[in-house]
Amino acid sequence: MAPGDIMELSARNVLKGTVESVTEGMVDAEVVVKLPGGETIVSVITKGSAERLGLKKGKEVHAVIKASNVIIATE
Per CB under 8 A, the list member of 26, 34, 56, 58 interacting with its own copies is: 26
Least distance from its own copies to the Cβ atom of residue 35, Å: 7
Task: Say whether residue 67 binds its own copies (CB under 8 A).
Answer: yes
Q: Cβ atoms within 10 A of the Cβ of 7, count?
A: 5
Task: Say whether residue 58 binds its own copies (CB under 8 A).
Answer: no
Nearer to its own copies, 11 or 57 (CB): 11
Strands 40-46 and 60-65: unpaired
**Cα distance from N-terminal residue to C-terminal residue, the chain:** 43
